[in-house]
Chains A and B, each alone.
Chain A
């Protein structure tokens, strides 16, 4: 029976091939007026598909986008982001229309003759100067935001070290003295997994969150200066809800700072986030039902938390380097950090 089926498939393929070679006997190989007519109209149809796809995507996928930024710096970035997006969407809408419309409108016909129009300094000046002005605006706006974000003032900032390694994160707080003790991979031994130099006085009061603890805390409303290190290969500490990212580079310390502006609870109560999480829960529920029917375990229940994830290819389990970030009111943070053991107590 199977053999017959294969013979049938082979026959179908052979016929298809024969049909294809047949159309090579067609006389016309160059677009005729009829082709121009059809293809021009198809281009108009494609324009509808194209705008349809854009509108559909915005309508259907708007809900998956990141909600408002959860840091003060992220909010300044958000302003620039909206301005840029508006500008490129307007340009996109207009320019694409011209491409498709002209193709349709000026589809060829043997009775027509093209306009011999080789140059116009005026027109070219317009589309040199208009983008120049628009881009100058964006450059100035962008660079202002960039320097606001990248040159933080250090007063009273909380110093937090994030340490990437295959395939997990460790975190260290600077402790009461506000200074991180020196660290180097040569000191890695036993429980001292971050290679902290314990002869350094500044290290004694540091607080270490090992890989076994899956979350760490940040206070709302206080500037946090992150110091990043890596143990082995490049990683990138990506915290999308805060619009924050910096690579972790073996052999050097990198830095990024932001001020959390919404606690985890506040973000969970954000209307956009409520919708998004409800949607995710629904998806997980449906998947779980299928899994249960197959006799497998259901998916774990899910609640929103801020994420720290790896965004630089780092090896097989690159896709699963995660830690949760709990943003809490500063009183709660102080209470939490006071409960943590210092490195001196641990080691």
Chain B
């Protein structure tokens, strides 16, 4: 391995088919950002339709092609927009963009490894992700429109083009894209697991790993356990669509004729989908939790409070996440007894979540808080995670779910607890590790503007949304004007849409800051945040193999901040214990 850094690299091996984890991490991030722009832009379009139903907008004329009439959005494309928005944000931005970026960047750097266990598989993983993104984007240009059956793609709607035009070619591409995406994500996850288990440097015991690594590691395990089930579900759906099988379909009369399907059940698909779908929520949020824990400790100049409890709760959340999927389908017609079991397991998740939240808050207590943009996003994360998490106690209780299931209440809940929170975690990570990725610093002032506008907009959209849901308004309605009973919700929807537009535009500040900083940002020093972890012992300029010469040895845990008896308020993990110093 020591000859790393001496390869002669061409443009293609360095920037395109790179096997270097740092470059792959940047590729994930840039692709994720691109997909994020598409996903957020879509949400602004459909929010405009909700606020000003059947209004003519020239922006619709410009972007919706044949799916609008004189600037008025068609109902089918409305459903397609919410479908693709969900798919892109959950999978392409918050799974690949978040976990792909930071697992790749930080696992080798923070455990002290030259690279991932298999650089080749890592490269394949990124390019499969790229291919699946490409197919998903291409599906937007299919004549009948992209998939439109909701991001959960429940059959029969997703199986029958007669039921909705998006279930034709658009849905085929959606399934192909997701199948490739799952392959990508599995290759990535296997690599993360093997790397963390085998390539830790001397002295880096599991109990000395930063919490970021713990959460990436556990996330990868959940991914390996649950993603294959979605692949199976998708394959069976392909069979039903293309080869006439009846896994999910039965007794269907549509378009004036009875279809031949017999004996299948959509409920089977719902179980298979959510067997991944729920763990997926934690695949999204755990890496964000890890990033926040790390950023918070560094900027509070304090050890993360309750390190062991944090690890235990990550593992507890991961375990519970695989046995709660039924809470998404309380009213699907499944046996009510199953509903009881899932209510029980679901509400248990609140316990490790509460432990984590209180531990973060205690980490702030009596800290010396350096309020960098990354720190603000981490604090924002705890706030939105708590707000969104608490309403989970309502949703997770089967008896209460009956009346708020599929209303705007659930939209508000999951956007806060996993959407906004995970995005905050991602921003915290980008601001914090930008110097490690690009050797330059991002602009602070723009970071502050970005945070505050985003924070106000996010609550402005999603807090009032709970009320719309509790008023009984179902989600995925093209317009609410068909029911005069909902006329008094029109005003709230306008307010939420304005906040959504504000929040969307605020991301332009981030984009400007990000891309300009790559070229114009101030040159970074080796350890700008005065942090303890190993990534800050590598040179600012990237080299293959991460460390020139030997990989450093680790002598202490990652959180010796403001330790009494030490001169500095931080102490790199590579520094041996002083004489007479107790290990923390």
Q: Which residues of A contact B (CB under 8 A)?
A: 20-21, 23-24, 26-31, 35-36, 39-40, 42-43, 46, 49-50, 53-54, 57, 61-66, 74, 77, 80-81, 84-85, 87-88, 91-92, 95-96, 98-100, 102-103, 106-109, 112-120, 123-124, 127-128, 131-132, 135, 138-139, 142-143, 145-147, 149-151, 165-166, 184-186, 188, 195, 228, 231-234, 236, 238, 240-241, 243-247, 249-252, 254-256, 276, 279-280, 283-284, 299-300, 302, 304, 307, 309-320, 322
Contact = CB atoms under 8 A, between A and B. Distances in A.
B553 to A, nearest CB: 23
Contacts of A188: 253, 258
B60 to A, nearest CB: 17
B526 interface: no
Contact of B391 (A27, A50, A88, A246): A88
B452 A46 contact: yes
28 contacts: A29-B443, A64-B467, A88-B393, A99-B364, A100-B383, A107-B369, A113-B569, A114-B302, A114-B366, A115-B562, A123-B358, A124-B306, A127-B355, A142-B398, A143-B398, A146-B336, A150-B336, A188-B258, A232-B163, A236-B405, A250-B251, A251-B251, A316-B74, A316-B76, A318-B79, A318-B476, A319-B482, A322-B482
Given A57-B467, A117-B366, 10 more contacts: A92-B387, A106-B369, A117-B303, A138-B393, A142-B397, A251-B249, A279-B488, A284-B487, A316-B478, A319-B480
B347 interface: yes
B13 interface: no
A147 B340 contact: yes
A39 B371 contact: yes
A236 B403 contact: no
Given A46-B452, A84-B393, A240-B403, A109 B368 contact: yes
B163 A112 contact: no
Nearest to B464: A57
Interface residues of B, number: 132
Given A109-B368, A115-B302, A20 B485 contact: no
B249 A250 contact: yes
A30 B406 CA distance: 44
Given A20-B512, A151-B336, A315-B163, A108 B370 contact: yes
Nearest to B366: A115
Interface in B192-216: none
A233 B394 contact: no
B333 A254 contact: yes
Given A53-B463, A234-B157, A251-B250, A283 B487 contact: yes
A103 B470 contact: no
A50 B382 CA distance: 14
B331 interface: yes
B524 to A, nearest CB: 8
A312 B468 CA distance: 17
Contacts of A147: 336, 340
A136 B413 CA distance: 22
B318 interface: no
Interface of B: 74-76, 79, 149-150, 154, 156-157, 160, 163-164, 249-254, 258, 263-267, 300-309, 331-333, 336, 339-340, 343-344, 347-348, 350-351, 354-355, 357-359, 361-362, 364-372, 375-376, 379, 382-383, 386-387, 390-391, 393-394, 397-400, 402-403, 405-407, 441-446, 448, 452, 455-456, 459-460, 463-464, 466-468, 470-472, 474, 476-480, 482-485, 487-490, 492, 512, 516-517, 520-522, 528-529, 559, 561-564, 569, 584
B340 A146 contact: yes
Contacts of A62: 467
A150 B405 CA distance: 16
A252 B333 contact: yes
B351 A135 contact: yes
Nearest to B359: A124
B344 A139 contact: yes
A54 B383 CA distance: 14
Contacts of A50: 383, 459
Contacts of A246: 331, 333
Q: Which 4 A-B pairs have the closest CB atoms?
A: A251-B250, A240-B472, A254-B333, A150-B336
Given A135-B351, A231-B252, A307-B483, A36 B370 contact: yes
Given A232-B163, A302-B484, A316-B76, A244 B254 contact: no
A117 B386 CA distance: 23
B130 to A, nearest CB: 30
A54 B465 CA distance: 11
A88 B483 contact: no
Given A131-B351, A146-B340, A318-B478, A24 B520 contact: yes
A118 B305 contact: yes
Contacts of B468: 64
B267 A249 contact: yes
Contact of B365 (A85, A102, A166): A102
Contacts of B339: 146, 150
A149 B305 contact: no
Nearest to B349: A135
Contact of A103 (B369, B466, B485, B516): B369
B452 A131 contact: no
A142 B343 contact: yes
Nearest to B372: A31
Contact of B489 (A64, A84, A95, A118): A64
Contacts of B383: 50, 96, 99-100
B371 A245 contact: no
Contacts of B444: 26, 28-31, 35
